[in-house]
């Protein structure tokens, strides 16, 4: 079982390398503004989780530079996720609003829909 999981993980990481989109191009000022907004986001994830890959690719497509924390390898990330979100499940997007309000969003499709609504719609690169 562990070997199968390891092999699937390899496939997922290889797919990420091959399928990685270039990402939307923005002018410098606009990208800087998006980068600033993205500082309020943290993606809790596992490297080899297909649902996390789906979110990472969506972020790449939108050129969103979001901090990621590995909840499998890092005990502190796992503890943060459990304490904040309440579930040991990934992906989970921590959203901190400018007024300090925190939201812990689970479900890859919900996360992608949220990012597409909040940031510009992705365009072909
Ligand atoms: N429907 C969820 C599925 C997420 C999911 O099943 N994630 C797995 C990892 S691939 C998980 O966190 N399992 C709990 C665990 O590993 O402890 C989504 O689309 O985000």
C-alpha to C-alpha distance for 111 and 125, rounded to whole angstroms: 21
Pocket test for ligand 1, best of 13, 89, 109 (most atoms within 8 A of CB): 89
pLDDT of res. 1: 83
Packing angle, helices 50-61 and 108-118, rounded to 10: 10
% of the chain surpassing 90 pLDDT? 86
Q: Is residue 40 part of a domain?
A: yes
In the chain, how many domains are there? 1
Predicted local distance difference test score (pLDDT) of residue 120 = 75
Interatomic CA distance for residues 67 and 96, integer angstroms? 13
The domain spanning residue 20 has which CATH number?
3.40.30.10
On whether residue 88 sits in a domain, the answer given is yes
CA 89 to ligand 1: nearest atom = 12
What's the rounded mean pLDDT across residues 106-114?
A: 98
- Asked whether 48 lines ligand 1 (CB < 6 A), one says no
> Does 46 score more than 60 pLDDT?
yes
- Location of structure tokens 């990472």: 56
- Exposed, middle or buried: residue 19 (CB in 10 Å: 0-12, 13-18, 19+)? exposed
């Amino acid at each position: 079982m562990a070997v199968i999981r390891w092999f699937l993980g390899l496939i997922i990481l290889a797919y990420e390398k091959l399928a990685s989109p270039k990402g939307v191009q923005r002018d410098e000022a606009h990208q800087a503004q998006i980068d600033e907004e993205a500082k309020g986001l943290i993606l809790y994830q596992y490297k080899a989780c297909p649902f996390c890959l789906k979110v990472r690719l969506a972020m790449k497509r939108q050129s969103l530079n979001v901090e990621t924390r590995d909840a499998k390898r890092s005990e502190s990330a796992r503890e943060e996720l459990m304490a904040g979100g309440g579930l040991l499940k990934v992906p989970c997007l921590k959203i901190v609003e400018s007024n300090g309000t925190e939201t812990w969003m689970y479900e890859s499709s919900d996360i992608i829909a949220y990012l597409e609504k909040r940031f510009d719609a992705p365009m072909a690169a």
